[in-house]
């Protein structure tokens, strides 16, 4: 019924997404968060020869990967390097007016998390970065080393829902007075000191999430994209959003 190449993993909510999103096999669909291309390929397999998929991603590395994977679908598929916050601009460039369905799979992709050089994960000791769009000026390094203590507290509390936000922010500011915090390993070392020993979850998880959201403006982008997506749907069209934490849900 649904076929997937064995070398690619099945993305989260793969079957549920296809079953709820695709209402017209000859419709026009948008995958706002291309990533590894799993959902995009699923849509391309389900739509007919007259159907069309427009994919968006701001990560050049993801786009190049997806071109190798999805190029075989020819004119059924087109891809644009942009932030899905600008879905209205992308649709104009693609020559599409109203679309049948829109998918957003929010957050960092597994490809980005698993790439040590991108600095998204506390599992690797690497340069602080966390930019989904590598041409953006703001990176995790600037947030950690240049934001005032009060602003760090706000970010960690609002975006990470971290109850140790004040202590983490204070320790970061103390450490960076000695020298800049340059790597994820150095940041994890500071964060650990704010947490009681033997914490059940990794102490850096919430802080890393908060910094990533700040660097990539994720909540603002989501809010703007939802509004523009509703305006871009044809009558009876569907918007599917996959989220992974309470901030996105709210």
Number of domains in the chain: 2
Q: What is the pLDDT of residue 4?
A: 39
Instruction: Please compute Rg for the chain using Cα positions.
Output: 20
**pLDDT at residue 8, as a whole number:** 60
Q: Is residue 19 in a domain?
A: yes
Q: 70 with 146, same domain?
A: no
Same domain, 31 and 65: yes
Question: Looking at residue 186, which CATH number applies to its domain?
Answer: 1.10.150.170
Checking if the pLDDT of 226 tops 80, the result is yes
Instruction: Identify the pLDDT of residue 135.
Output: 86
Query: 175 and 241, same structural domain?
Result: no
Half-sphere exposure of 147 (CA within 13 A, CB side): 21
User: Is 74 a domain residue?
Assistant: yes
| Distance from C-alpha of 250 to C-alpha of 248, rounded to nearest angstrom | 5
Mean pLDDT of 65-94: 95
Distance from C-alpha of 18 to C-alpha of 46, rounded to nearest angstrom:
8
For residue 69, tell me if it sits in a domain.
yes
Question: How far is it, in rounded angstroms, from Cα 203 to Cα 206?
Answer: 7
**126 and 176 within one domain:** yes
Q: CB-based contacts of 232: which residues, under 8 Å, 6+ apart?
A: 30, 87, 88, 91, 98, 99, 102
User: Same structural domain for residues 32 and 66?
Assistant: yes
pLDDT tens for residues 29-38? 999 999 889 9
Same domain, 73 and 101: yes
Determine whether 95 is exposed, middle or buried from the number of CB atoms within 10 Å of its CB (0-12, 13-18, 19+): exposed
Residue 75 and residue 152 in one domain: no
Q: Are residues 95 and 77 in the same domain?
A: yes
Residue 248 clears pLDDT 60, i.e. is over it: no
Determine, yes or no, domain membership for 87. Answer: yes
Q: Average of pLDDT values for 133-157?
A: 95
In a domain, 41, yes or no: yes
In a domain, 224, yes or no: yes
Same structural domain, 209 and 233 = no
Question: Is residue 42 situated within a structural domain?
Answer: yes
Domain range holding 157?
A: 113-216
Residues whose CB falls within 8 Å of the CB of residue 99, separated by 6 or more in sequence, listed in order: 27, 28, 29, 30, 54, 91, 232, 233, 234, 237
Helix 165-178 and helix 149-160, axial crossing angle in degrees, nearest 10? 140
Same domain, 211 and 226: no
- 197 and 148 housed in the same domain: yes
Domain containing 243 — which CATH number?
3.40.50.150
Q: What is the mean pLDDT of residues 138-157?
A: 97
Q: Is residue 2 part of a domain?
A: no
Residues 30 and 100 in one domain: yes
Which region among 104-108, 215-219, 242-246 has the lowest average model confidence (pLDDT)?
A: 242-246
């Amino acid at each position: 019924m649904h076929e997937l190449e064995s070398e690619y993993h099945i993305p989260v909510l793969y079957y549920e997404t296809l079953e709820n999103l695709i209402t017209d096999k000859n419709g026009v669909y948008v995958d706002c968060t291309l990533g590894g291309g799993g959902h995009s390929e699923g849509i391309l397999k389900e739509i007919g020869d007259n159907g069309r998929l427009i994919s968006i991603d701001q990560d050049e590395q993801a786009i190049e990967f997806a071109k190798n994977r999805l190029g075989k679908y020819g004119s059924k598929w087109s891809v644009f390097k942009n932030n899905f916050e600008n879905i209205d601009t992308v649709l104009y460039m693609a020559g599409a007016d109203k679309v049948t369905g829109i998918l957003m799979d929010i957050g960092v992709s597994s490809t980005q998390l698993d790439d040590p050089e991108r600095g998204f994960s506390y599992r690797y000791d690497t340069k602080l970065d966390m930019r989904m769009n590598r041409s953006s000026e703001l990176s995790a390094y600037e947030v950690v080393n240049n934001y005032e203590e009060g602003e760090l507290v706000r970010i960690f509390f609002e975006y990470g829902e971290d109850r140790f936000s004040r202590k983490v922010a204070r320790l970061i500011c103390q450490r960076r007075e000695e020298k800049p915090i340059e790597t994820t390993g150095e940041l994890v070392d500071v964060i650990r000191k704010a947490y009681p020993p033997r914490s059940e979850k990794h102490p850096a998880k919430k802080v890393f999430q908060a910094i990533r959201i700040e660097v990539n403006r994720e909540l603002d982008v989501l809010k703007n994209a939802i509004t523009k997506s509703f305006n871009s749907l044809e009558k009876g069209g569907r918007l599917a959003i996959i989220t992974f934490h309470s901030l996105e849900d709210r």
